[in-house]
Amino acid sequence: MSHAPAPIAFELNGRAVTVEAAPAARLSAVLRGPLGLTGTKVGCDAGDCGACSVLVDGAVLCACLVPARQAAGRRVTTVEGLSNGAVSALQASFLRHGAAQCGICTPGLLVAATALLARTPQPDEAAVADALGGVLCRCTGYRKIVAAVMNANATAVDAATLPAGGAVGASPLRLDGLAKVLGSERFGADGWPADALAVRVVRAPHWHARFRFGDLQAWRAAHPGIAAVFTAADIPGRNRFGVIAAFADQPALAEDRVRFRGEAVALVAGAPQAVAAFDPAGFPVDWEPLPHGLTPDAMPPDGAPLHAGRPDDVLVNGRVVCGDAQAAIAGAAVRVSGSLDTAYVEHAYIEPEAGVAHMDGDTLVIAACTQAPAMDREETAAVLGLPVERVRIVPTAAGGGFGSKLDLSLQPLIGLVALKTGRPAALAFSRAESMAATTKRHPARMTATIAADADGRIAGMLFDGTFNTGAYASWGPTVANRVPVHASGPYRTPAYRATARAVHTNGPVAGAFRGFGVPQATMLQETLYDALADALGIDRLALRRRNALRDGDATTCGQVLAGVGIDACLAALEPHWSRANAEAAARNAAGPVVRRGVGIASCWYGCGNTALPNPSTIRIGIAADGTVRLHQGAVDIGQGANTVIAQIAADALGLPLAAIRLVGADTALTPDAGKTSASRQTFITGRAAERAGRALRETVLRYANVSDGAALALDGATLVLREGEAVRRLALGDLPADGTGLVFCAEETYDPPTTALDADGQGRPYAVYGYGAQLVELDVDTRLGTVRPVRVTAAHDVGRAINPLLAEGQIEGGIAQGIGMALMEEYVPGRTENLHDYLIPTIGDVPPVETILIEVPDPEGPFGAKGLGEHVLIPTAPAILNAIRDATGAAVTTLPATPARVLAAIRAVGDER
């Protein structure tokens, strides 16, 4: 026998199948490819993520590790076979509990949980964790998954049918949830046309190098099945992209020099079998390595800057100054200083970048996972030399994003192949490729001093941070500008000087990652607040409340605030703080090896672009058939925009949520709702949806000549307007419709009122801020340096909780990422390009989370709502650091706080004593 494909017969989801496959092919590839069952997801091809879990004769296995021949004669069950087309009790429970966010890990979790429930119908939490410990989720923080599995066989309560005007503040099942639990959601690597060319990217193996290609045509001719090879020479447009136009500096394919390991230099396209057999080692390219540096202080001495016009490799300097911080600190009663170093952090979404491009007449259509369809469209058009109108971006579901899917990745590459060959072109990054080639959280090296009067009022603060932005600009300018605005924390700071710079290295490109540098800065600021409280002899929570910003206070940018909820968050934590500290004192009284610690930290975060316009537009209409069509272009990457924006629009319009049908996102069908970034969609697109809903309502009312007091209802294709005893019925089918079938339509735009910042960072950088505070209780093993979070209590001011269940999901997921950043996540360039050396939290690493939603309405937000997506991650890591110090006295100043670092810090304290 050989590896040549041969028939393999087995039972698949209850049906007998026979498939031609190479005997040692991965079963996952066979299920997804020839068998067409794409519910089984591929996240790592290494057994590290569990997304491809299937049942073989009832036992759960990673299909990526199973030779296809192994299936012969066996029963294989995939997510598609869990419910026979219906919705199983477990799937319904996932929906009900909000256990699926982006949905990419959901099939694997459902399959693994099914194996558990077959043995143990009423599992406890420990059994659930043991059974699901092999499936990684990056969105949910696992708590709702645990609840969904434990309660899978409980009696389901029907989701209440929400009346008109009752959507905001309720938690309806997410509108896009069913496909996620059925495994039918289409992600970037799903639904590729059978005739698509496969594409592979040739990437640089050096951190810095010049290169020259050999005879590419001869190489291609020697490789049957390879249809084409493309290099920078084939790019018809401007071979530079970047999320901020003024800094666009990254080539889609490098021309003659690469600035980081993993940079794309060439594309190989051809028949899937031939491309699968492609070995980059044989590709004709000669490398001439150049000196390189991976950190700002390790750049080659006397080297030219990586980019012309950026002396000393400084991309951008950011700064905010108010008052005389030096003098205020010198004159204050108490001052504390510190420094903190953080690591590259990888987004580690379970879905690597993937998509397919094809030509629809003259139009290039790209269906790929993304957070920013309109930006993808503009940038891809520029690189490929096409007018914007000839590029259409159809976002697939995104299996997690967290900031990294804002930047272009594969769009210009598959676009180039489709454009040049006229054939569909498909590509899914491998896990290693995704990790090497796409953006990271900026490593930061920061110092700060904070001073206070004897009564604990902050007198002044100095902050300075250097952020390693890697080889290309990406979002480096945003980080350099956002950090100085936020580094004070949500506290009155009358004298302040904060500087930050983004500096190039040959490291991976650092870009957007949930918080844009603010999480790093907050770790330093909030740990110094604890040191300050100790120096003052003031309770750590009380110090924070004493200085918390209040309505009418000015920020360090001179912006006077309204709707400030930080003190309400801190106040809500007070009873938990008292209880936790008492419990810790009791536990620690006998001097145990494992000590309990309690920590607290706050956050604030401006929603939307920093001091720049960032409008969103929403279109909504009523069709002749009586459906309400919401053209919703805000990409839902799991956070819930599809549901939240619809809830807002429904209540603004005055029709029930159930009447709404979502359209898009699709650049051909939906107006630009901006990028899913900067915690802006609920606020900005939500506000546009509120305006559009109200505008549509007014249009209808005016047409029917009734007052704003009228109640709307849909009765099939009839719109019913009731005002007191009067009832007006509009037969929609009898009214003129536009080209898309809409009888009434409204489109509205909202752009938050901000101003540019002056040279001292003074101005109005954001229209809305959100606030939060988290309390972490944890145990530290003082002899091993291991840290086990025990409980997190999170109070977040969301202004108005449009959807409390989704808000909780954001909070729990952000906390999980905060735990990862604090305790285990360290991307070491070139060494951790997989999910077993790069660790993210598993289901056993996230403790119970108690969420307290605070609602201090914001005057700008829709129904008073504020953003939440990034805020939730910010307080977790500093609260963990503060709890470790509370437990042991040890201050960890290099992140993550691995067991080795925690033990070293504990020993350093011992040496001092």
Partner 1 sequence: MSRVPRYARPSTVAEALALLADGRWRCLAGGTDVYPALGDRPLADDVLDLNDLEALCGIAESDGDIVIGARTTWSALLAADLPPAFDALRQAAREVGSVQIQNAGTVAGNLCNASPAADGVPPLLALDAAVELASQAGTRRLPLADFLRGNRETALAGDELMVAVRVPKAAARGRSAFLKLGARRYLVIAIAMVAARLTLDGAGRIAEAAIAVGACSPVARRLARLETALAGRTAGADSDAAVAAHPFDELAPIDDVRGTADYRRAAVREIVARAVRLAGAPRDAGKAA
Q: Is 376 one of the binding residues for partner 1 (CB under 8 A)?
A: no
Interface with partner 1 (CB under 8 A), residue from 33, 34, 47, 331: 47
Q: Is 479 one of the binding residues for partner 1 (CB under 8 A)?
A: no
Total residues binding partner 1 (CB under 8 A): 67
- CB burial of residue 753 (10 Å; 0-12, 13-18, 19+): exposed
- DSSP state for residue 294 in the 8-state scheme: S
| Rounded Cα distance, 605 and 870, in Å | 8
Q: Is 791 one of the binding residues for partner 1 (CB under 8 A)?
A: no
Interface with partner 1 (CB under 8 A), residue from 153, 718, 842, 894: 842
| Rounded Cα distance, 457 and 540, in Å | 13
Q: Is 61 one of the binding residues for partner 1 (CB under 8 A)?
A: yes
Strand order in the sheet with 257-258: 257-258, 209-213, 285-289
Q: How many degrees, rounded to 5, is the angle at CA 379 between CA 749 and CA 439?
A: 100
The HSE-up count of residue 168 (CA atoms within 13 Å, CB side) is 24
What is the nearest approach in angstroms of partner 1 to the Cβ of residue 191? 21
Q: Is 43 one of the binding residues for partner 1 (CB under 8 A)?
A: no
3-state class of 458 per DSSP? strand
The amino acid occupying position 751 is: D
Strands 718-723 and 726-731: antiparallel
Q: Is 830 one of the binding residues for partner 1 (CB under 8 A)?
A: no
Q: Is 24 one of the binding residues for partner 1 (CB under 8 A)?
A: yes
Q: Is 119 one of the binding residues for partner 1 (CB under 8 A)?
A: no
Consecutive H or E run containing 630: strand 628-631
Select the span of 2-10, 679-687, 701-709, 765-773 touching partner 1 (CB under 8 A). Answer: 2-10
The 10 Å Cβ neighbour count of residue 545 is 19
314 φ, ψ (degrees, to nearest 5):
-85, 120
What is the nearest approach in angstroms of partner 1 to the Cβ of residue 281? 9
Q: Is 71 one of the binding residues for partner 1 (CB under 8 A)?
A: no
Q: x/- contact string, 200-229, with partner 1 (CB under 8 A)?
A: ------------------------x-----
- CB burial of residue 618 (10 Å; 0-12, 13-18, 19+): buried
Nearest to 439 by CA among 260, 673, 612, 266: 260
Q: Is 832 one of the binding residues for partner 1 (CB under 8 A)?
A: yes
Q: Is 133 one of the binding residues for partner 1 (CB under 8 A)?
A: yes
- CB burial of residue 123 (10 Å; 0-12, 13-18, 19+): buried
Select the span of 39-47, 243-251, 672-680, 850-858 touching partner 1 (CB under 8 A). Answer: 39-47
Interface with partner 1 (CB under 8 A), residue from 19, 30, 35, 66: 66
Please list the residues that pair with 849 across neighbouring strands.
Answer: 792
Contact 778, 793 (CB under 8 A): no
Residue 387 token pair: 């007018």
Q: Is 823 one of the binding residues for partner 1 (CB under 8 A)?
A: yes
The 10 Å Cβ neighbour count of residue 529 is 25
Q: Is 346 one of the binding residues for partner 1 (CB under 8 A)?
A: no
Matching residue, tokens 């000590």: 595
What is the nearest approach in angstroms of partner 1 to the Cβ of residue 847? 11
Site for partner 1 in 583-622 (CB under 8 A): 594
What is the nearest approach in angstroms of partner 1 to the Cβ of residue 185? 22
The 10 Å Cβ neighbour count of residue 507 is 27
| Residue whose CB is less far from partner 1, 384 or 839 | 839
Interface with partner 1 (CB under 8 A), residue from 35, 40, 45, 603: 45
| Residue whose CB is less far from partner 1, 71 or 162 | 71
Select the span of 151-159, 213-221, 523-531, 839-847 touching partner 1 (CB under 8 A). Answer: 839-847
Residue 553 token pair: 């206070």
Matching residue, tokens 């302040």: 496
| Residue whose CB is less far from partner 1, 285 or 564 | 285
Contact 332, 85 (CB under 8 A): no
193 φ, ψ (degrees, to nearest 5):
-65, 145
| Rounded Cα distance, 606 and 100, in Å | 27
Interface with partner 1 (CB under 8 A), residue from 599, 785, 864, 867: 785
Q: Is 4 one of the binding residues for partner 1 (CB under 8 A)?
A: yes
Q: Is 7 one of the binding residues for partner 1 (CB under 8 A)?
A: no
Q: Is 899 one of the binding residues for partner 1 (CB under 8 A)?
A: yes
Q: How many degrees, rounded to 5, is the angle at CA 444 between CA 443 and CA 447?
A: 165
| Residue whose CB is less far from partner 1, 438 or 681 | 438
Select the span of 272-280, 326-334, 516-524, 564-572 touching partner 1 (CB under 8 A). Answer: 272-280
Site for partner 1 in 503-542 (CB under 8 A): none
Interface with partner 1 (CB under 8 A), residue from 119, 212, 729, 783: 783
Nearest to 534 by CA among 631, 599, 624, 613: 599
| Residue whose CB is less far from partner 1, 53 or 91 | 53
Q: x/- contact string, 541-580, with partner 1 (CB under 8 A)?
A: ----------------------------------------
Site for partner 1 in 279-318 (CB under 8 A): 279
| Residue whose CB is less far from partner 1, 738 or 837 | 837
Rg of the chain in Å (alpha carbons): 28
Q: Is 836 one of the binding residues for partner 1 (CB under 8 A)?
A: yes
The amino acid occupying position 828 is: V
| Rounded Cα distance, 396 and 352, in Å | 13
What is the nearest approach in angstroms of partner 1 to the Cβ of residue 85? 26
Where do contacts with partner 1 occur on this chain (CB under 8 A)? 1-4, 22-24, 26, 45-48, 50, 53, 59-62, 64-67, 69-70, 112, 115, 129-131, 133-136, 224, 276-277, 279, 430, 432-433, 594, 781, 783-786, 788, 823-824, 826, 828, 831-832, 834, 836-837, 839, 841-845, 898-900, 903-904
